[in-house]
A and B are shown apart, each in its own frame.
Chain A
Amino acid sequence: MAVDVVAPSLERRIERLDRIWRERPGLLGWLTTVDHKRIGLLYFFTTLAFFAAGGIEALLIRTQLAGPNERVLGPETYNQLMTMHGVTMIFLFVIPMTTGAFGNYLVPLMIGARDMAFPRLNALSYWLFLGSGIFIYLGLFMHRGPNCGWFCYTPLNTRTYDPGPNVDFYALGLIFNGLATTAGALNFIVTIFKLRAPGMSLNRMPLFIFAMLAVSLSLIFALPSLTMDLVFLELQRKAGFHFFDVAHGGDPLLWQHLFWLFGHPEVYIIVLPAFGIATSIIPTFTQRKMIAFPLVALAELLVAFIGFGVWAHHMFATGLPTITLIAFAAASMMVVIPSTIQVFAWTFTVVLGRPEFRAPLLFIGGFIVFFVIGGLSGIMFAAIPFNQVTTDTYFVVAHFHFIIFGAAVFPILGGMYYWFPKVTGRLYHERAAQLSFWLTFLGTALTFFPMHIVGLLGMTRRVYAYSPHLGWDAYNLSETIGAFILTAGLLLIFGNLLWSRFRGTLSGPDPFFGGTLEWATSSPPPEYNFPVVPKVTSPYPNWDRADREEDARRLVAGTFVLDEGHETPASTVRDGYLDEVLSMPPESPWPVVVALCVALLFTSLLLSHVVVACVFGGLALLALAAWHTREPEES
């Protein structure tokens, strides 16, 4: 690249970039921001709030189940808390935390972009998510919350057996939430396809990006069946349609098929980002590249793909024809392989590297242990007779909590420590962090392991009370104790992060010598992420010192600084050749407005005011139109 003849000085360029990318300060700034980092933080704190809510629900449930025939909660309250715990942790915590918070903050940084492909859509998906979360919780606050379990089987979810608005909060809330998630997933796919820094061809994408790509694709293809299922349900509940009731030629199994056609990919949607986080932390703390890199990358895509072909193993007890069960059991057996590939890739990377067991790596260690336990019990569900025994028992509860808490949340916690310095510019407190790991590790094991045993002792899911003569008491008590230890560990983590935010030692841009691009910029990163478009020649660009020095030279020379507009480069999809320089849209108030209209739309649907709903729909469309009158400056 030729050096500009009239190269303004370095400082002038930085100052100009700052001016171009600066956003409105203050509260209004947070409402109108399109900066993926600020939106990521919004996601982070919102999902933390929902995590707290879901955690309190869990503690209440565990208190009720601490002993036989407790009367802490009545059955109705218990059912609402049980349902909300599931809905919250899946739809309002894990997915928005991994995609919304981690994905939003890290994906553009890791691929060397300056923002997401559609910054305003990104803001919209956050505001929609916030709206849906509040919407669903309104029900619980009015003690009319969802009370039919997170998969809410029909006919229990019909007006006949659940006349209140409880199920409507669930159905409409999840459709609403689905809009937000779809918008986010779409944004990630396009961002990953198009905004990778020049040189980052598909085979040089970090594994975290592969994971986020797999998750986004899964969401895009899984959510519609849930949405349609819920639309059918609402049409049946509110407009008297018939999809699920036998009397009019419907079939209750239609609900289950559509639900699990979404619900199983969902499981992998929950764990895949965790895989991505693990594949980011392990190389950093072992200071070596992941071994079997292409295999691990493909495994992440494969697990998402095969995950679509195993849904019926949630329905093995419903009396489907044997040959149907067999076909799905075969897929359920083989869907294990991508995970075994990754488990051994992680462990052998640790064996081969020079691991330094700091808090993030400890959490990944715990993740591997728990993921293996949950995965092994998962294999057992592909054995049809055993599946038919343990389905709907606490054995299943144990299994998916090892997956969702052990395998999804542990990397999230590890990731919080790992990227904390990047976000705040300060280091967390190491000793406290390691102590918090031991607390959460013990707590998790103690909470969820005994559930396997009570499950085999015949304890079924979703019972609000159990009689003393069944030999379950001791296990349930230990689960409750574990739950409180776990809570202590979590509180310690967030206490640590809070304290370090203000008192932590300054970290500098790259405290752990990470391999991916987010460590190549300052901490916290500037609004424009990178003063110069980074050069990429491998999946671990930050370890290619030559390229980083090249960046420094470019910055001085003023090549690839893009300091003359609100710009970011776009590359070709497969091989990442520089293709064009995009001018990015500025901050916009319209996403909030659209989200508000949509929220009001769903509220009026809940109250069965169709006309009002249409009005708000129209307003939403008008707001969208206004949104698009503001075009990014033309180059």
Chain B
Amino acid sequence: MRRLVRLELFQWYGLLGAAIAWTVQLVLGYGVTVARCSTGGDFGLAVDTWEVVLIVVAGAFALLGEAAAIAVFLATRTLEHDDPPPDGRRHFFASAAVVGNVLFLMIILLSGVGILANSPCHQS
């Protein structure tokens, strides 16, 4: 029973965790930039520090999501994607999320690279 509950949680976190992590990173990161770089802004926010922290944290949560997805996938790898629920459904989402989460990891990584390579608030 407990195992089932855990699988269920893992499946949903594996499906949504990375996505939410990236959303938070994008929104907060954007907000920080607006707050720092607008005429009325500049609350002495160190944008770089903020962005780096955001990226590390978001990256960590996204990695956990990937781990959860892999865990569920392995736990259900004997199944087909259209097998009866709930395990068939868990396998279905896990097997897709294993690939999908990579995208969020890549977005977080790339934006991190880009931010470190540029000085804050400079126009292009």
Direct contact of A and B (CB under 8 A): yes
Quick check: B114 and A294 within 8 Å, CB to CB? no
Q: How far, in angstroms, from A322 to B33 measured CA to CA in the complex?
A: 10
Give residues of chain A (73-103) contacting chain B, Cβ–Cβ below 8 Å: none
> Are B99 and A327 within 8 A (Cβ)?
no
A365-B120 Cα distance, complex, nearest whole Å: 46
Contact B114 A324 (CB under 8 A): no
- Residues from chain A with a CB closer than 8 A to the CB of B92 are 202-203, 294, 297
User: Cβ of B115 and Cβ of A323 under 8 Å apart?
Assistant: yes
Cβ of B88 and Cβ of A201 under 8 Å apart? Answer: yes
Scan B80-122; emit 1 where CB is below 8 A from any A CB, else 0: 0111111011011101110110011011001100110111111
Q: Least Cβ distance of B28 to chain A in Å? A: 11
How far does the Cβ of A379 sit from chain B's closest Cβ, in whole Å? 14
Q: Which of A201, A324, A338, A384 contacts B85 (CB 8 A)?
A: A201
Query: In the assembled complex, which residues on chain A have CB atoms less than 8 Å from the CB atom of B115?
Result: 323, 326-327
**CB of B17 within 8 A of chain A?**
no
Asked whether any CB of chain B lies closer than 8 Å to the CB of A185, the reply is: no
Q: Which of A294, A295, A337, A338 neighbours the largest number of chain B CB atoms within 10 Å of its CB?
A: A294
Question: Which A residues between 322 and 348 are near B, CB-CB below 8 angstroms?
Answer: 322-327, 329-331, 333-334, 337-338, 341
B5-42 vs A, Cβ < 8 Å mask (1 yes, 0 no):
00000000000000100110010011001000100000
For A, the interface residue count at a CB cutoff of 8 angstroms equals 40
A295 B47 Cβ-Cβ under 8 A = no
- Check B111–A326 contact: CB distance below 8 A: yes
Given contacts A294-B96, A302-B103, A329-B114, contact A203 B123 (CB under 8 A): no
Q: Which residues of A contact B66 (CB under 8 A)?
A: none
A327 is contacted by which of B19, B91, B103, B111 (Cβ under 8 Å)? B111
A321 close to chain B: CB less than 8 A: yes
User: Could you tell me the distance in whole angstroms from the C-beta of B73 to the nearest C-beta in chain A?
Assistant: 10
Most buried by A among B33, B37, B88, B114: B114
- Is residue A240 contacting chain B, with contact meaning CB distance below 8 A? no
- A298 and B118: CB pair below 8 A? no
User: Which residues of chain A have C-beta atoms less than 8 A from B19's C-beta?
Assistant: 305
Judge whether A319 and B110 touch: CB under 8 Å. Answer: no
Q: Are A203 and B88 in contact (CB under 8 A)?
A: yes
The residue in chain B whose Cβ has the minimal distance to the Cβ of A298 is B96
| Contact residue among A302, A327, A331, A384 (Cβ-Cβ distance under 8 Å from B124) | A384
Q: Are A323 and B118 in contact (CB under 8 A)?
A: yes
Decide: A201 and B84 in contact? CB cutoff 8 A.
yes
* A262→B111 CA distance, assembly (Å): 22
Q: In the complex, A21 Cα to B122 Cα: how many Å?
A: 65
* Chain A residues in 8 Å Cβ range of B111: 326-327, 330-331
Complex CA gap A325/B86 in Å reads: 42
Q: Is the CB of B82 within 8 A of A298?
A: no
Whether B51 and A203, one on each chain, are in contact in the complex, defined by CB atoms closer than 8 angstroms, is no
* Residues of A participating in the B interface, judged by any CB pair closer than 8 Å: 201-204, 293-295, 297-299, 302, 305-306, 308-309, 319-327, 329-331, 333-334, 337-338, 341, 384, 388, 537-539, 574-576
Given A203-B85, A322-B122, 9 additional A-B pairs, CB 8 A: A201-B84, A203-B82, A294-B96, A295-B95, A299-B100, A321-B122, A324-B33, A326-B117, A327-B30
B residues bordering A, Cβ < 8 Å?
A: 19, 22-23, 26, 29-30, 33, 37, 47, 51, 81-86, 88-89, 91-93, 95-97, 99-100, 103-104, 106-107, 110-111, 114-115, 117-124
A-B contact pairs, 19 of them (CB 8 A): A201-B85, A201-B89, A202-B85, A202-B93, A203-B83, A203-B91, A204-B82, A298-B97, A298-B99, A309-B26, A321-B120, A322-B118, A326-B118, A327-B26, A330-B107, A331-B111, A333-B110, A337-B103, A537-B82
